């Protein structure tokens, strides 16, 4: 059952110049993304800076409005709702931000921070709110007595993030977007926060969208992964499949760039790929396949053809003409010799021509 869905979401930020605010171009932060997040699952959105993953995350919880496309929450189209209509829905979806140092108001004590959602939505009497705050702090493993009256600057990174999580849980949401929840934390603290998030997911039947740049982390956390580059999803697969058979050249390059800590991991990663050049700006997206200037497996047609998301395995899609029958479907040279594109084991049909495939199911 799909809880949250993004359908053809596009977000362009206009670039203006001059007094009259003339539009001279646009930043194509999100450029046509479709994604389906099943209830109870953890789906990861992976990418580097400029990939649009954070923007997409914000659009999904309607912190931003898409330029085009739809966002559907629990069957309801929330794309165009105004703030008043959105309010009840906001209770069901929350977002935890990346940097706990800045996502908590430095002038508020922990108690007020965690209580805020309840106050904003006018829930409960003060006494009931007190109790709920206690309960929430306990749930995130922060003994209330010690933490209620502290200011954020008196907390460690891990503690702050726990407070942010407690705040996100206050309204009993069903869906939480976690935007790089642990990238500002030490590795041992990260492990504890992830363990906490896992436990909460089980106890409270939560659905997560985790945004991250860390493939090793999502390998251990997500059920399905979507890799983004310059505003588009370039590969999407269940976790196992993505790491066993990475199809898109960018995914492979990312995997080979990870500084691993063990020989077993190094063996997993195919040949060493070093991407040339820099990530282009989302204001000047290259023609054709947006990855082609840096691609090591480029074909001649790559600067003209904009590839669709093509099926490369069960629930596994990659946006690359190397898998397009029209070009001979040679696949990526090397380890990933992808099997014939065909109707999948799980019965997912190939997408109709001219339209992006649905996401993970």
Partner 1 sequence: MAEAAISGDLRATRAQEWRKMWFRFRQSTLSVAGLAVVGLMVAAALLAPFVAPYPQHAGSFVDFAHALQPPSSRNLLGTDDAGRDILSRIIFGARISLVLGAVVLILAVGIGVPLGLVAGYWGGRVGDVIMRITDIFLAIPPIALALAVTAALRPNLTNAMIAIAFAWWPWYTRLVYGQVLSLKEEQFVEASRGLGAGPWRIAFREILPNAWSPILVKITLDMGFVILTASGLSYLGFGAQPPTPEWGTMIAEGRAYLPGSWWAATFPGLAIFIAVLGFNLLGDGLRDVFDVQIEQWRAGS
Partner 2 sequence: MTRTEPLLAVSDLAIHFRTYEGRARVINGVTLDVGRGESVALVGETGCGKSVTAKAILGLLPANAEVVSGRIVFKGQDLLRLSEDELRRVRGRQIAMIFQDPSTALNPVFTVGRQLADIVMWQGADRVGWRRPDQAVWRRCVEVLRMVRVPDPEGMLARYPIELSGGMRQRVLIALALIGRPELLIADELGTALDVSIQDQILLELRELVRTEGLSVLYITHNLGVARLVSDRIYVMYGGEIAEVAATREMFRRQFHPYAQGLLAAVPRLTGTMGTGIEGRIPDYVAPPPACRFAPRCTFRMAVCDRLRPHLAEVEPGRRVACHLYPSSTVEASSAVEA
**In the complex, least distance from residue 139 CB atom to partner 2, rounded to whole angstroms:** 18
Residue selected from 214, 285, 296, 324 as contacting partner 2 according to rule CB under 8 A: 214
Query: Binding to partner 2 by residue 253, rule CB under 8 A?
Result: yes
Q: Which of 182, 165, 190 is nearest to 113 (CA)?
A: 165
Of 134 and 298, the one with the shorter C-beta distance to partner 1 is 134
Of 98 and 256, the one with the shorter C-beta distance to partner 1 is 98
Of 94 and 290, the one with the shorter C-beta distance to partner 1 is 94
Q: How many CB atoms lie within 10 A of CB 62?
A: 20
Chosen from partner 1, partner 2, none, partner binding at 67 (C-beta under 5 to 8 Å by type): none
CB of 328 within 8 A of CB of 320?
no
Nearest 5°: the CA angle 134, 194, 48 is: 125
Token output for 140: 């995130």
Query: Binding to partner 2 by residue 102, rule CB under 8 A?
Result: no
Q: How many residues bind partner 2 (CB under 8 A)?
A: 41
CB of 10 within 8 A of CB of 43?
no
Query: Binding to partner 2 by residue 191, rule CB under 8 A?
Result: yes
CA distance 92 to 315: 28
Contacts with partner 1, residue ranges (CB under 8 A): 61, 63, 83, 86-87, 90-91, 94-95, 97-99, 101-108, 116-117, 120-121, 130, 145, 148-153, 156-157, 164, 167, 171
CA distance 30 to 228: 9
The strand pair at 22-38 and 42-46 is best described as: unpaired
Chain centroid, CA 202 distance in Å: 20
CA distance 86 to 224: 28
Query: Binding to partner 2 by residue 278, rule CB under 8 A?
Result: yes
Q: What is the H or E stretch that residue 94 is in?
A: strand 93-96
State which of positions 319-358 bind partner 2 (CB under 8 A). Answer: none
Q: Which of 269, 263, 273, 222 is nearest to 246 (CA)?
A: 269
Query: Binding to partner 2 by residue 268, rule CB under 8 A?
Result: yes
Query: Binding to partner 2 by residue 203, rule CB under 8 A?
Result: no
Residue selected from 64, 81, 101, 258 as contacting partner 2 according to rule CB under 8 A: 258
Chosen from partner 1, partner 2, none, partner binding at 255 (C-beta under 5 to 8 Å by type): partner 2
- Write out the residues near partner 2 by the rule CB under 8 A: 48-49, 156-157, 186-192, 194-195, 213-217, 219-221, 243, 253-265, 268-269, 274-275, 278-279
């Amino acid at each position: 059952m799909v809880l949250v869905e993004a359908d053809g979401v596009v977000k362009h930020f206009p670039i203006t110049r001059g007094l009259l605010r003339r539009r001279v171009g646009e930043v194509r932060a999100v450029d046509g993304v479709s994604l389906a997040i099943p209830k109870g699952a953890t789906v990861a959105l992976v990418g580097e800076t400029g990939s649009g993953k954070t923007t997409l995350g914000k659009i999904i919880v309607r912190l931003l409005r898409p330029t085009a496309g739809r966002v559907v929450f629990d069957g309801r189209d929330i794309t165009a709702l105004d703030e008043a209509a959105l309010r009840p829905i906001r209770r069901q979806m929350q977002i935890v931000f990346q940097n706990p140092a800045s996502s908590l108001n430095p002038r508020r004590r922990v108690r007020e921070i965690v209580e805020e959602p309840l106050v904003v939505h006018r829930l409960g009497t003060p006494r009931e709110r007190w109790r709920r705050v206690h309960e929430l702090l306990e749930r995130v493993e922060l003994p209330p007595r010690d933490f209620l009256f502290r200011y954020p600057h008196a907390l460690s990174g891990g503690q702050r993030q726990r407070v942010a999580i407690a705040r996100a849980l206050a309204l009993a949401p069903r869906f939480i977007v976690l935007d790089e929840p642990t990238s500002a934390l030490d590795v041992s603290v990260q492990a504890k926060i992830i363990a906490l998030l896992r436990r909460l997911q089980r106890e409270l039947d939560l659905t997560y969208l985790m945004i991250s740049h860390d493939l090793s982390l999502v390998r251990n956390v997500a059920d399905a992964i979507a890799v983004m580059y310059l505003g588009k999803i370039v590969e999407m697969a269940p976790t196992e499949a993505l790491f066993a058979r990475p199809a898109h050249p960018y995914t492979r390059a990312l995997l080979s760039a990870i500084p691993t800590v063990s020989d077993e991991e190094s063996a997993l990663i195919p040949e060493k790929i070093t991407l040339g050049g820099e990530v282009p700006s989302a204001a000047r997206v290259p023609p054709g396949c947006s990855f082609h200037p840096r691609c090591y497996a480029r074909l001649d047609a790559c600067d003209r053809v904009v590839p669709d998301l093509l099926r490369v395995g069960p629930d596994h899609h990659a946006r690359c003409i190397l898998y397009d029958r029209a070009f001979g479907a040679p696949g990526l040279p090397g380890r990933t010799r992808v099997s014939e594109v065909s109707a999948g084991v799980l019965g997912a049909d190939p997408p109709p021509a001219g339209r992006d495939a649905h996401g993970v199911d």
